[in-house]
Amino acid sequence: MIHTHSLGRAARYHAGATALVSGAARPTFQQLHSRVAGIAAALAQHGFVVGDRLALLLPNEPEYLELIYACGWLGVTAVPLNTRFSATEIDRVLADATPRGLIRHSSLPAPTPRLPWELVLDAESLGVCGGEGPAAIYDPEAVLALIYTSGTTGRPKGVALTHAAMLANVDHVNYWLPYREGGVYLHAAPLFHIADFPFMFAAPAFGTCQVTIPKFNPQAFCETVQKERVTRTVLVPTMINVLTQFDHLANYDLSSLVELGYGGSPIAPELIHRARQALPHVKLVQVYGLSETGFLTGLQDHEHTASRLLSCGRSCPGVDVRVVDASGKEVPIGQPGELVVRGANVMHGYWNSLDETQLAFREGMFRTGDIGYQDAEGFVYILDRSKDMIVTGGENVYSGEVEAVIYQHPAVRETAVFGIPDPQWGELVMACVVLKPGTTVSVDELIAHCRRSLAGYKIPRRIEFSPHELPKSGSGKILKRALRERFWLHQERAVS
């Protein structure tokens, strides 16, 4: 189904437009369509049929896009693997997904168990076929991809996204980031992540050329935007943080960049201010969502007002967002609770995990695990992940609020706030902080900084400075679980 409304549409209405930048080659949509048909035929010759899974362990590159399109054409389920996974984590995902085959890059880990079919894409030929191949499927309920969650809250689970759910995501993004025909989209965030995944289908639908960079760094980003005249991209906050601190940013012509979407984790208002200063001509759009749902809310550029910088925006038509208490009852406006959602964009369930699926839904609503509230105009404010919320002396502390204050200190490059066990208070607020090069600040100074903006019980009781960047998932989220676990090793529960 997704092929008809994405690459198939592009081949009909934008046949002669440039579809992709692939080294020196710049195929048109008609040429890309023909090549994807050949890749689909080659996969079929290797025995892939509707419902089979094909695992992909690749950096961001044009061939990745082509393979995803070919899977959508055939009705094969793509399993994009996180390129930061260790060999052990890859083995675990493959054991769960049981793919028929794997296509990987030689620079990335090889799995321990052998699969029925494997291909090292940069060393072997897939053998793209010419002539007639199988017809593209049109089945809204076919599973397009298994998106394995990033692991920030525990063991990765396979999110089964259908063709219809992905098309709904494409439609919803159009509400916050209205598509324009033409232009150039840069895949700077990982293709395996839900923040970027829908755009590989949205771009062809509107005749937009796509460019990839293998891995984000500020120099590669700026060089690509300047050279290819990129008009749109999506980044996660950690990428924006690095970009705004890039010493040579002013040396590049980034004037073609019209809109920057961002999401994937909470963002501090201070970082938004820095992005405005670094890219004053660029429209900012925040999107909030999960692997299980795709995009749920968006904060448009004109809505980035002082009173709403902590909001992730409003839902669009087709997405129902509510805030409920522990019993599932909707709470009054302004009261915190768990965000629950429903819509055509929401997954059907977790792969091979009926128990987890049943826990994730209640009365038809998907439970996001995020704590937040809505104001009278429907704007959503995320306070924290429910598992990241700190309970100290009976008071709830939302780590995102504390992080936002710490980020306001001019010496802070990045931070993560989480709870650690304490016999008296249950949990204490702790912060791990990375300072900007050449800057210094003491623990006492940082605590004094927090005291000016936070209630006493929210102020970190312990602060550690890290000489290295904080651990992150492949999508760029800070892995608080990895930071917390050494403090909870001998505890019976991961919360007090």
Among 241, 233, 303, 295, which Cα is nearest to 264's?
295
- pLDDT at position 131 is 67
Residue 251: per-residue pLDDT: 97
Q: What is the pLDDT of residue 378?
A: 95
Burial pattern 44-70, b for ≥16 Cβ within 10 A else e, equals bebebeeebbbbbbbbbbbbbbbbbbb
Q: How many whole angstroms separate alpha carbon 380 and alpha carbon 402?
A: 18
pLDDT at 496: 35
Q: Beta strand 53-57 with 77-80: parallel, antiparallel or unpaired? A: parallel
Domain spans, the chain: 2-380, 388-487
CB-side exposure of 450: number of CA atoms within 13 Å? Answer: 28
pLDDT of residue 495: 39
pLDDT number for residue 396: 66
Tell the burial category of 178 from Cβ atoms under 10 Å away from its Cβ (0-12, 13-18, 19+): exposed
pLDDT at 266: 62
Non-local (6+) Cβ contacts of 292 within 8 A are 149, 159, 346, 347, 360, 366, 368
CATH number of the domain at 2-380, out of 3.30.300.30, 3.40.50.80, 3.40.50.12780, 3.30.365.10? 3.40.50.12780
- pLDDT score at 151: 43
pLDDT of 418: 92
Structure tokens at 48: 């892939």
pLDDT for 493 equals 36
CA–CA separation, 118 and 115 (whole Å): 6
Residues 6+ positions from 276 with CB-CB distance below 8 Å: 284
Output the six-digit token pair for 123. 């060393």
Tokens of 495: 């919360």
Q: pTM, whole model, 2 decimals? A: 0.82
pLDDT at 490: 64
pLDDT along the chain (496 residues), means of 10: 96 97 94 96 95 97 97 98 81 93 94 92 88 88 89 68 96 87 94 90 96 95 98 90 93 97 78 94 93 93 92 94 95 96 95 91 94 95 77 74 91 94 82 96 95 85 95 84 84 42
Spatial distance between the Cα atoms of 171 and 293, rounded to a whole number of angstroms: 13
Is the domain covering 388-487 a CATH 3.30.300.30 domain? yes
Return d(Cα 164, Cα 237) in angstroms, integer. 29
Looking at residue 265, what is its pLDDT? 63
What confidence score (pLDDT) does residue 142 get?
97
